[in-house]
Amino acid sequence: MIGGNSFDECKYVCFTLQTRTKSLSLGPYTPYQNELFERICNLRDVRALTYAAISIELTALGYASPRACPLQAEHVFSIYRKGKQRKQRLNAEARFSLVDSDQ
């Protein structure tokens, strides 16, 4: 016994914790893609425009698809849907599970 503590009385717990998350992969969004997605979300969610109306309005403002093609309703829908899925994936809660423990 040294200074009132005995190393024989030390207690410890070993465990393995498994973490699962999809939010670590950010994906390669360019600033232009991010701006385009935010504008589409605003026009769709706030102003309740159709995809066709959004494509007309953004084309009039000089926007094109990320690959420099004319912005059509199908492109707008795809950008909106995939952007929402990406946001949901990045904001998802991580899951933890105790795999193994030694006491």
Tokens encoding 50? 């159709």
Average pLDDT, integer, range 5-25: 71
The per-residue pLDDT for range 16-74, each reduced to its tens digit, is 878 877 666 667 788 999 999 999 999 999 999 999 999 999 999 999 988 888 999 99
Chain centroid, CA 64 distance in Å = 24
CA distance 14 to 12: 7
The per-residue pLDDT for range 59-82, each reduced to its tens digit, is 999 999 888 889 999 999 999 999
Domain definitions of the chain by residue range: 7-102
Return the beta strands (E) in 9-94 as ranges: 14-20
Report DSSP state, residue 77: H
The candidate with the shortest Cα–Cα distance to 73, out of 50, 98, 95, 93, is 50
